[in-house]
Chain A
Amino acid sequence: EVVLTQSPATLSLSPGERATLSCRASQSVSSSYLAWYQQKPGQAPRLLIYGAFTRATGTPDRFSGSGSGTDFTLTISRLEPEDFAVYYCQQFGGSPLYSFGQGTKLEIK
């Protein structure tokens, strides 16, 4: 079973600061199938990054993804007020076929 562990669970920052979110896999994950999603209260998740570092259509360039193997990172270079939300990483190809991390809540400090 591929388990994705995200850290920190909660990140308290101010607008304009840089955010670094971590996703660690219990076994190696193909970079082609590592994605990041943003979820706001009462809404469905929204795809931000796929293939570990490719921004989805409409994702601002302040969002960037990096990493390989078992360690992946989502970086938000300068936080905007609309960026405060919960972020999930997700993998494909392990067992179960898809799994999500438990999420990182990015809150306003």
Chain B
Amino acid sequence: QVQLQESGPGLVKPSQTLSLTCSVSGDSISSGNYYGSWIRQPAGKELEWIGRISTSGSTNYNPSLKSRVIMSADTSKNQFSLTLSAVTAADTAVYYCARWRRSFEDWGRGTLVTVSS
């Protein structure tokens, strides 16, 4: 059974960079035809897709966040990562990593990131 686990700081100051890692167990991120994605959800609001990375390392980002987002993968650690620069209070949300093939089949439990000074 595939499991995903997000990790990273729970508090980030405005204008700084948010960095999160998704650790995958139960399957290799370099095997299979799936994408790793980041999705976020502000409290009480809907889900917003941030971006995805393929098993070969190619990326696609949400145009609304593209200028601030970088995703990468470390196959040796079976992890993929998110960096979001120049954060503001509007970036406060629960951040989920998820695996997509024909749908978002597997999700991490999510990690709350608060942007505040």
Contact = CB atoms under 8 A, between A and B. Distances in A.
Interface string B40-60: 000000111100100000001
A51 B48 contact: no
Given A44-B109, A95-B63, A96-B62, A88 B104 contact: no
B105 A56 contact: yes
B104 A33 contact: no
Nearest to B49: A98
Interface in A83-109: 88, 90, 92, 95-103
Interface residues of B, number: 20
Contacts of A46: 107
Given A96-B62, A97-B52, A47 B47 contact: no
A59 to B, nearest CB: 12
Q: Chain A at the B interface: mostly helix, strand, loop or mixed?
A: mixed
Contacts of A92: 100, 103
A100 B62 CA distance: 12
Interface residues of A, number: 24
B107 A100 contact: no
Given A44-B109, A88-B47, A100-B46, A35 B104 contact: yes
Nearest to B37: A98
Given A44-B96, A44-B110, A103 B46 contact: yes
B46 A97 contact: no
Interface of B: 37, 46-49, 52, 60, 62-64, 96, 100, 102-105, 107-110
